Structure formats: structure tokens, C-alpha cells
A and B are shown apart, each in its own frame.
Chain A
Amino acid sequence: MSDIVPSELSGDDLIVDAVGLSKTYGQFQALKPCSFSIPPGRVVGIFGPNGAGKTTLLNALLGLHDYDGQLKLLGRDPYKHRAKLMEHVSFISDVATLPRWMSVSDILRYVSDVHPRFDEAAALERLQRHTRITPGMKIMNLSKGMVVQLHLSLVLAIDSRLLVLDEPTLGLDVLHRRSLYDALIEEFFDNNRSIIVTTHHIDEIEQILTHVMFLRDGEIILDTAIEDLAGRFMILEASPANAEAAQALGPIASRTGIGRSNYIYDGVDRSALAPLGDVRRATLTELFIAQLGHPAESAEAASGATQT
């Protein structure tokens, strides 16, 4: 597994530092022992099929359940110091519904009361500038998109070091999804902060990621910088005549189409592939399906991509 920590950073500078982190529920190991680090200035996408262990990993990071192994969030054990750490960590989860019995002004006041790093005026100003939400509105009367916008405005008005988003765009239309990700980069992200995000809309988030993690069956099977992906994973579109030669180069996944077949390679030099057909960089979605997809599912899901 690659370490994404620049060597000049000490442990205390890391946002996240996990060594042998794992989580077991009874006999079921939801998260197998893993080690990784996230320094400031990263936007890390964590991807995996349902049940891969993404939420278990995020919940461990957020101190929402205990775990085995060592885990430091901003230098502290998140399970023991959750409340203190939440001064510097924000998160939005699809299942974290805002309290419907509050009005917008109620929730602004509540966060202002309990969060020392929350700027109520900034949140209000953002709501007025970017949304049609007014302080007098009841949360129960807001649409799903408006609730997300409200939650986002609350979170962006908190001066935190880490923002964790667990499927934040579920149920949102493409415009809301796009505006959410744009806001993250424009209004939150800088070199002193990091973002961790999980989503099933991989293609929509690829452009803002600096790093990516793939989980399968509770195990991190890929942890790398986005820029390293471009030179590492290649797609070859080859005619049937070159199929044998393409297979000989050891693709990690392939999909047979009409007249042409797609092959995805890990670490094979572009110059070796070029004589066999059209070569291009694999998208994150293609890589996701190649690495994590199951044959029966990926045949439908790939739609022009690759299949294991």
C-alpha cells in the first residue's frame, strides 16, 4: 500500500494516521487491518461497493465506534476524544438528517451555542447568497437539496481541518451534486485542510480528488495519488486480431465488445500497448469496475468501460 504522506511531515502534522486499523463485529471483520495516512491538502475519495467497509472506516475516523489498531486524528485518538476533535472535524452523512423540528434559525443558534469555531454570520450570509433558504423556514419543509445546502452552509462556516462526507449527494440531482463539490473546493479546501469523501458518483468527483482509496471486503486494495493513476492504469481498445497479444500483456480486466475489446492494464508501459490499438488513460469509474466489480454486475454497469 502506498503512503501518501510527504516525508517532511511528522506524525503530529497528519490529519489522519492509521496503523493496523481494523474493526470486527462479532465474527465478522468489517475492516481488515490497514495502514494509511492523510496529511493536510488532500481530497481523498474512498470508493467501494456496498458493504466494502467505507462507512466502518469513516465511523472509526469520526470516533463513532471503537476499533483495533492505532488511529490518530489530528494527533488524538478519535474514539476517546471525539467531542474535542469535532471542533476541528466536520462531517456530512446522507443518514445524518438534520433535526426536522428545528427551524433554520434554530439550527444556526444551536450550532453557534455548541461549536466554538462556528461563524453564524458566515453561514447566514452563505445561505442568502447561494440558496433560497430563509431563517424562518422549518427544516421539515425543505427539499432534500435544500437540506443538503443548509447542512453544507453550516459545515462551511466551521473553521475545521477535516471535512468528511459520506455519500453526501444521495438523492440529489446533478446540478445540486455539482454545486456541492464546487463549494467544497472553492469555499473549504486549502493546503491546511483535507477532505475525505465517499460517493457512488465517481465520475463527478474525479476532477476534484487528489488521492483515491478502493475498498473491497473490508480491505484497502488501492491507495494512491490521482496523478499516479494516469501513468499506471491504461485502457487498450484492440481489434480481435490483437486479442491474443493483448491478453499476453496481462490485463487486470477485459471486456469484449462488438468488433473491439477493451483491456485494462496496471503498470504496463504505454509504448508496449500502442501497437495493439488505441491506448488511453483509464477513468476512475473504469478502474473502479475493473478492481471492484463483480462479473455479473459489471457487465451492465460498465457500459463501455471494462469488465473483470
Chain B
Amino acid sequence: MKTMVGLIRAEILQHRGSLLITPLVIAGLIAAFVLAQLFFSTSGVNIEFGSFDVRLDGRRIIDPDAFESVGQTVGAAFGIFGVPIFFVANVLAFFVMLSALYEERAERTVLFFKSMPVSDTQAVLAKYVTASFIGPFIAIAVMMGLTIVLSLSTAIVFTVRGVPQVWGFLLELPLLRLFTSLAGYYSLYALWVAPIFAYLLMMSALAPRSPFLFALLPVAVAVIAEAILFGSDFVASEIGNRGLAIYLAEAIETSRSLLGARAETGFDAYFMRFTDILATLAVPAFWIGLGCAALFLTVAIWSRSRKTL
């Protein structure tokens, strides 16, 4: 366990720009933007994201019909500010995965790492877990931190402006629920997208040079060949459905329809349920994807054990 912790710590250190600093910088920019509105705009803060349209103008807080309390409104609204952080974290995880096993050869550090009592399996899994889970969880933690900072700032500014009983909404902030839901949803997403990330890691291990091209060319060829030969788009749609969380959303929607017999609305619809996990586990494509991911990781481990430089 100590070895795995050490390996993951080293991975975070190596990719701290992607995994740590970038989410913090984006969070800082968002915080600066919102706080500037809070402090200097006479019309308050306007948050629009999809169906959300929340305005905090110091005199009134418009509560969308979907929400039951000011705290829920503010919490969910500020939580949504974290979406860009989450999106960027995933894009960066893509590139971290793609470079992980290639760069250690290119930088010639692989022999140093192989001089340690660390198996190739441990080394590859540490890289996979870091890019696939730890990095996005860091992004989720940053999102939560951003939500707390913005909520506290809002309460302070509104108090100064004389809005009564502002601090009460902080108690209603669904932070823990927001955090566990995000972590839970992301964990399911990471498992759905596992074959894609494991494929990238495998190509990073196999690529003699330019892992980006080495990874993308076979996929591009497969997509084009499939379209020409069979007139279908299985490969492309499989990647899209997994990468864009469409499979995950479909599984959850189906289970909720079956269980609730109606489309969920309101605040609760945004939070994870145990049945969401069961719904995912019931989809064969989920397990097929995990099987492919295991195969790709095995090839990555095998390749690392045979290659030094």
C-alpha cells in the first residue's frame, strides 16, 4: 500500500500542472469572475447554465421552481461553476494517459524507476489510477472548494448590503451530497470510459514515437474502414457513447423510469442514487468495456516489462 501511495504521489507530482494547478487556476478565474460581479455589479450575480437561471442581486434571490430552498439553489448553481474544471480535468487526463508510459522512456527515467522494487503491474496501475480517478477527484475537490468560497463570499456581501438572514442558507448547502454525488457519478463514468483510457495507456507503452498519432491513427482507420466497408459507425458511436457519458445517462434514465415510472424533476434529480449503480452494472456493454480495459492494461504492462528505452 505504501508503495502504491508513493507511486501515485509521484504521478501527481509529475503531472501536477495538469492534475492540480490547472483546476486551481480555472477555479481561481471563476472565483475572480463571480466575486467581481458580487462586489462591483449593481445587478448582482447572474448564473445561466442550461436550464439554470439564477440571479443573486442583493435584494432578492430568484429561486427556480425546481429548488426548494435558497441553499439548494446557491449550492447547485455554484456547483455548476465547477463543470468547466471537471471538463478540463478530463481532457488533461486524456493527455496524461497518452504520455504516461511514453515519456518515461523518452526522458530516459524508466531505468531509474525500474531500479526500484516496483513491478511493471504496480507502475502501470498507478499511472492508470492517477489519471483516471485521482486527477478527476482532485478536480471534484477543487469544485467543492470553489462552491464553499463562493457561497461564503455571497453571504458576506449580502450581509454587508443588509440582506437579512443570509447565513441561514449556508446551513442548507448540500455540500456533502453534492460531493458524494459527483464522486459517485464520476466513478461510474470512469468505469464506462475505462477501455478508452486503458487503450491510451497501452498506446503510450507501445508507441515508438508520437503517441498521439500512434493512438489516434488506428482508431481513425477503423472508423473510416467500418464506414466504407459496412456503412456503420459502431466504433465511433461506441467511443462517443462512453466518452460523453451517454451510456451512463441512458442507464440511469432507464432505471429511474422503471423505478419511478415518471421523469424525475427537482433538486433530488441531480443527486446519485444506489439504483444508478445497479442500473450501470446491469448493462452488458459496461462489462465488455471493462474486459477490454483489462486486456489493454495487460498489454501495457507486458510492453513496459519488455521495453527499457
Contact partner of A101 among B13, B111, B116, B120, CB < 8 A? B13
Q: Which of the listed residues B2, B14, B114, B309 has the most CB atoms from chain A within 10 Å of its own CB?
A: B114
Q: What is the size, in residues, of chain B's interface with A at 8 Å between Cβ atoms? A: 27
Question: A86, B14: Cβ atoms under 8 Å?
Answer: no
Question: B10, A96: Cβ atoms under 8 Å?
Answer: no
Once the chains are docked, how many angstroms separate the CA of A269 from the CA of B109? 50
Question: B118, A83: Cβ atoms under 8 Å?
Answer: yes
Q: What is the size, in residues, of chain A's interface with B at 8 Å between Cβ atoms? A: 33
Once the chains are docked, how many angstroms separate the CA of A91 from the CA of B115? 6
Instruction: List CB contacts (< 8 Å) of A149-181 with chain B.
Output: 151
Query: Quick one: CB contact mask for A61-87 with B, threshold 8 Å, 1 for yes?
Result: 010111000000000000000111111
Question: B9, A113: Cβ atoms under 8 Å?
Answer: yes
Once the chains are docked, how many angstroms separate the CA of A62 from the CA of B308? 11
Q: Which of the listed residues B10, B117, B305 has the most CB atoms from chain A within 10 Å of its own CB?
A: B117
- Residues from chain B with a CB closer than 8 A to the CB of A110 are 6, 9-10
- Nearest residue in A to B116 (C-beta to C-beta)? A114
Once the chains are docked, how many angstroms separate the CA of A115 from the CA of B116? 7
Once the chains are docked, how many angstroms separate the CA of A59 from the CA of B309? 12
- Residues from chain A with a CB closer than 8 A to the CB of B13 are 101-102, 106
Tell me the minimal C-beta distance from A112 to chain B in angstroms.
Answer: 8
Contact partner of A99 among B112, B122, B306, CB < 8 A? B112
- Residues from chain B with a CB closer than 8 A to the CB of A87 are 117
Question: A83, B112: Cβ atoms under 8 Å?
Answer: no
Once the chains are docked, how many angstroms separate the CA of A113 from the CA of B116? 10
Is A1 close to B, CB under 8 A? no
- Residues from chain B with a CB closer than 8 A to the CB of A86 are 114-118
Is B108 close to A, CB under 8 A? yes
Instruction: List CB contacts (< 8 Å) of B1-53 with chain A.
Output: 2-3, 5-7, 9-10, 13-14
- Residues from chain A with a CB closer than 8 A to the CB of B116 are 86, 111, 114-115
Question: A84, B115: Cβ atoms under 8 Å?
Answer: no
Contact partner of B2 among A91, A98, A113, CB < 8 A? A113
Is B268 close to A, CB under 8 A? no
Question: B6, A96: Cβ atoms under 8 Å?
Answer: no
Query: Quick one: CB contact mask for B100-132 with A, threshold 8 Å, 1 for yes?
Result: 000000011101111111111010000000000
Residues of A within 8 A of B (CB): 59, 62, 64-66, 82-87, 90-93, 95-102, 106, 109-116, 151
Residues of B within 8 A of A (CB): 2-3, 5-7, 9-10, 13-14, 107-109, 111-120, 122, 305-306, 308-309
